[in-house]
Structure 1
Amino acid sequence: MGDLAMILGMVLAAFLVALSALVLMQAWLDRHPARVASIFDLAPSQVAFLFDGERLIDASPAARSLLPEGEDTRAWGRLMARFGPDFPGLAERLASLPRSGQIRIASLPTTAPPLVLKAELRSGLLHLALEAGQTEASPHQRPGQNDAATAAALQQEVQAQRAILSRAPVLMWKEAADGAVIWANHGYLIRAVELLPDGEDLSWPLPKLFDTAAGSSTRLKLQMPSGPEWFDLVRLPAGEERLCYAMAADKAVQAETALREFMQTLTKTFADLPIGLAIFDRSRCLQMFNPALTDLTTLPPEMLIARPSLNAFLDAMRARSMIPEPRDYRSWRKQLARLEEEASMGIFEETWSLPGGQTYRVIGRPHPNGALAFMFEDISTEMTQTRRYRADLELGQSVIDAVEDGVAVFSQGGQLVMSNAAYAQLWQHDPQVLLSEASITTLSDWWRDHSAPTLLWDDATDFVTSAGDRTPWEGDVRLLDGRLISCRFRPLTGGATLITFRHQVAAPLTAVSDSRLREELMA
């Protein structure tokens, strides 16, 4: 039994030692990962690619530096975009490789330095290699002396950057420490040539178009023969030199000029308005007002210029009795809160009767970005005229109500515009309750239903609705209760018509029922 326990202990100890060794080895491998070897490590300066179909399997360091960064699965497209302009028909030539097995493609004559692309299939994989081509100037160029592919890439990049700079719509130039222009792009040179005197050619040093001493970023005008041109200048330090950029700002200047002119027109319009205008921003501070506001509110201009808050503005108006006096201060504060809330919703409109006798119409309207606009209009004259007109109407109504005869006045269109109390008592209805439904047609029907049969009401309708010269006339009708009514029709100015109804008391009838009277009159 003891031997068995010793054997098990030794086995367990050996297992733990082996496990510890594996853990330590894995930790060492994690800290020192093995580098995946490349088939091009022996020739790092060679430009070579290895593809499996369109997937990049391997490439030399020089080759990878020529391709834009990206996934290896998309390297084929990047390769075609990079070298396709230098090798005409590259994709078609590579597609024919399975038939030929190996091809050589020379670059265009304009490619400097010239290149040769070698392509061959090796065990189903495509091997591409770039080599320097032979030129008349260097027929025996030694391998490794210059990286031809890298030089071609640099040359192409320089040409592309030159094309971008020459066609840029922005003026670019470089200044030395003393301010002299030591380089400029195509746009700058064109304007420099246009500004040269007649017969003078562009020479070194280049002319300086802008006075850049004003600051690192400013807007300047360049007076060209075709007219002024505005530019936004930006100057950036580059060591002891400066890079300068002039971006066209004509549209911005035109927009700012139009906005300035519009604001001036708007300001003049506000200044001439008889309505007081006060605009508060989203924080409820006064931002804009016109002179009429100071006249209507009696607030001093220096207070308004200080941009008071809405509450301070209304408190100052209340102190000058320019707001209806509330019963208590608490209700006044609630009214202020309601005023601001309703104005922000666009529904605030009130008429203020001030202690001094003036009457103001106050309108609040919301503006963009949470602003509020208040308009104060003095309608004292308008209210006085309205009250006077209303008093005249009431006086005229009381006058015709005092007339014993029934009176009805119709407009040129045949609409009832006025009647008196005697008319309502005579015909047992008050047409002024619904003037919109009281026309000569509806009232003639009413009169016809409450009187004996007669053609007088048809003549009355024609007389009221007819145009031109009319002759006054009169006629008698008998009501169903036996009373005899004398009706008089008189034309008024403006095509209106006056009808009066007078009760004839000189010839009374014996009182009979309505039905019997109708039968006797019909007989």
Structure 2
Amino acid sequence: MVAHFLIAFAAAALAVLLALGLIRLADRRFAGAQAARGLEREIEPIVFLFRHQALVDATAPARALLASLPGEGDWQRLSSWLGMRLPEFGALLPDLGGAARVELQERACDQPLRLRAEDLGDGLLRLTLADPAAENAGILVDSLSLGAMEQELEILRSTMDHSPMLAWRQDRQGQVTWANSAYLSLAEAKAEGQTLWPLPQLIDLSARPAQANAAAGSARRVQIDQGGQSRWYDCHLHEVADQTVAIALPADAAVRAERSLREFVQTLTKTFADLPIRLAIFDRDRNLQLFNPALIDLTGLATGFLTARPTLYAFLDRLREARMVPEPKDYRSWRNQMNTLEAAASSGHHVEMWSLPGGQTYRVTGRPHPDGAVAFLFEDITSEISLTRKFRADLSLGAEVLDALEDGVAVFAANGELLISNRRYAELWGRAAPATLDDHVAIWTETCGSSPGLAILREALNAAHPDEPLRGAMAGPAGGLLSWGLRGLSGGRLLLSFAAPVPTLPVGSEMPRVAEGSEPAESAAMSRALTG
């Protein structure tokens, strides 16, 4: 009995397990069918319903598409996007009438788009979008991948929309197939606020140079007129598949800077043209970059040679051929001299004097400039050198004339400084002449002693500038008498002269007596001799 009971229990348990397995398998199949039917329900068509370009209704995928499109206004965003994908869309709408139904399909694309436009009457327009390659098919994408793609798409879209540069794509026929917000804003501004599709070409890319077609990323500067003002852009082109990607960077600041630089250079050029100094500027490679007309007048070099931007050494060689540089003993020493000139001018301020065989004298000044450039200034100082030599000769002649005088002569400035004296003066009072008048008076007192004649001279020197010549006598350094003369010169200067000693009286003659308190004999005798 027990064995039969166990067998029956095992059979019943097996039957129960088998039933549970069948029920679970049926539930799985039913759940899969429900999920498939749900997926089919979720794959809704993209349908828009507009009344006079105002959105009346749309399916969930259609509203999601509108939310992802840039711009303002439902009709504007959708029509701009459809115009980029389907260029015929702009010309389609005016042809719809009654219950017309027109279908358009994108052809030049890997994922074509099909558009069905239906006029339902009463101003209603129904637009249906479909992907022919994905009809009746659902694509499952995990949420993380979809979120990453949407985030990257949003970053790229916001970056392009907030960029000041113009970016667009156009096909081989020149029609714009895509553009960023900056391009759309500029197109709307030129169209007085209206959005037209296909978008107009703001920059004609067909006018670019031939070499730009072959060189990827080549750039050219273009000008766009807007509202009576000109805006400049640097346009870069890239060929991608069968379309051209163009990026136009704003270049207004660069154009203004280049215009200011050009005007500044023109001003400098006009200024250099009026300078009498000859100017030659060489760049860091020692090629002539700038010169003024005075350089041509001085050197006599051909204008074509200078405008060909010769090197520094070619320029100096041509000057040597024209005998405009000092003639050295040999060419090697001349080349070494020119190397020294170039090195000294590039490292700091350098000046040389060139004495030419024809008698001219040039002063060559080299000055370093930024970025390794160097400038040379050529000045004809022949007249200046001649004047200096003549002045020096006159000074030498005057010194010889003063030294030839038998009287000692000295000239003092208004502040008492010794300006000039002759050889006789140095013999009388010593070779080491002091600098000031007070020192000279001290030497006279120390050499000759205190005497009434010296006191009168001291008073005359300390008095005001004399209008008439003054004369007197004093004891000389070697005995006897010296006559002195004082004359006022221009600028408060004084001319003081000491005459040769007065001849002594004959032997046996008596000196004239003077009363007590009267003028000493030496002064009285000298006064009678001077006044006659």
TM-score range, shorter chain: 0.5 to 0.7
| Equivalent of residue 366 in structure 2, options 361, 364, 367 | 364
Pair 347,225 (structure 1): closer, same or farther in 2 beyond 3 Å: closer
| Counterpart Cα distance in 1 of 2:196 and 2:341 | 72
| Equivalent of residue 186 in structure 1, options 175, 181, 184 | 181
Shift of 1:257: 1.0
Shift of 1:186: 1.8
Alignment-derived partner of residue 250 in structure 2: 248
Q: CA contact under 8 A between 2:476 and 2:501: conserved in structure 1? A: no
Shift of 1:383: 0.9
Pair 399,335 (structure 1): closer, same or farther in 2 beyond 3 Å: same
Shift of 1:459: 3.2
Alignment-derived partner of residue 478 in structure 1: 475
| Counterpart Cα distance in 2 of 1:458 and 1:226 | 89
SS of the aligned residue for 1:232 comes to strand
| Counterpart Cα distance in 2 of 1:150 and 1:345 | 64
After the TM superposition, which of the residue ranges 453-462 and 157-166 deviates more from structure 2?
453-462
| Counterpart Cα distance in 1 of 2:467 and 2:482 | 22
Pair 374,184 (structure 1): closer, same or farther in 2 beyond 3 Å: same
SS of the aligned residue for 2:231 comes to strand
Shift of 1:359: 1.0
Alignment-derived partner of residue 488 in structure 2: 491
Structure 1 position 155 matched with structure 2 position 157: no
In the TM superposition, 1:314-393 aligns within 5 A as 314-346=316-348, 348-393=350-395
| Equivalent of residue 168 in structure 1, options 158, 163, 166 | 163
Query: What amino acid is aligned across from residue 261 of structure 2 in structure 1?
Result: L
Pair 457,193 (structure 1): closer, same or farther in 2 beyond 3 Å: farther
TM-score (structure 2 length as normaliser): 0.61
Aligned positions, number:
362
Shift of 1:253: 0.8
Pair 145,295 (structure 1): closer, same or farther in 2 beyond 3 Å: closer
SS of the aligned residue for 1:183 comes to strand
Shift of 1:449: 2.5
Query: What amino acid is aligned across from residue 291 of structure 1 in structure 2?
Result: P
Alignment-derived partner of residue 418 in structure 1: 420
SS of the aligned residue for 2:500 comes to strand
| Counterpart Cα distance in 1 of 2:348 and 2:229 | 48
Pair 151,314 (structure 1): closer, same or farther in 2 beyond 3 Å: closer
Q: CA contact under 8 A between 1:411 and 1:495: conserved in structure 2? A: yes
Shift of 1:320: 2.5
Q: CA contact under 8 A between 1:441 and 1:461: conserved in structure 2? A: no
Q: Deviations 1:167-207 (Å, cap 9, x if unpaired)?
A: 1121222223322223222222222222224xx62232223
Q: CA contact under 8 A between 1:352 and 1:362: conserved in structure 2? A: yes
Pair 203,469 (structure 1): closer, same or farther in 2 beyond 3 Å: farther
Q: CA contact under 8 A between 2:466 and 2:487: conserved in structure 1? A: no
Q: CA contact under 8 A between 2:413 and 2:494: conserved in structure 1? A: yes
In the TM superposition, 1:398-417 aligns within 5 A as 398-417=400-419
**For structure 1, which runs of at least 5 residues remain unmatched after alignment?**
1-109, 114-142, 432-436, 511-520
Alignment-derived partner of residue 43 in structure 1: none
| Equivalent of residue 209 in structure 1, options 192, 202, 215 | 202
Q: CA contact under 8 A between 1:483 and 1:509: conserved in structure 2? A: no
Q: Deviations 1:304-353 (Å, cap 9, x if unpaired)?
A: 33444434433332332222223344543443343333333335422122
Alignment-derived partner of residue 6 in structure 1: none
Shift of 1:252: 0.9
Q: CA contact under 8 A between 2:457 and 2:472: conserved in structure 1? A: no
Q: CA contact under 8 A between 1:344 and 1:366: conserved in structure 2? A: yes
Q: CA contact under 8 A between 1:485 and 1:504: conserved in structure 2? A: yes
SS of the aligned residue for 2:499 comes to strand
| Counterpart Cα distance in 2 of 1:155 and 1:308 | 62
| Counterpart Cα distance in 2 of 1:495 and 1:389 | 24
Alignment-derived partner of residue 63 in structure 1: none
Structure 1 position 441 matched with structure 2 position 438: yes
Superposed CA RMSD in Å reads 3.2
Pair 309,242 (structure 1): closer, same or farther in 2 beyond 3 Å: closer
Pair 455,224 (structure 1): closer, same or farther in 2 beyond 3 Å: farther
Pair 301,152 (structure 1): closer, same or farther in 2 beyond 3 Å: closer
Pair 221,444 (structure 1): closer, same or farther in 2 beyond 3 Å: farther
SS of the aligned residue for 1:423 comes to helix
Alignment-derived partner of residue 298 in structure 2: 296
Q: CA contact under 8 A between 2:406 and 2:500: conserved in structure 1? A: no
Alignment-derived partner of residue 228 in structure 1: 230
Alignment-derived partner of residue 18 in structure 1: none
Shift of 1:293: 2.0
Task: Choose 1 or 2 for highest CA Rg.
Answer: 2
| Counterpart Cα distance in 1 of 2:281 and 2:491 | 47
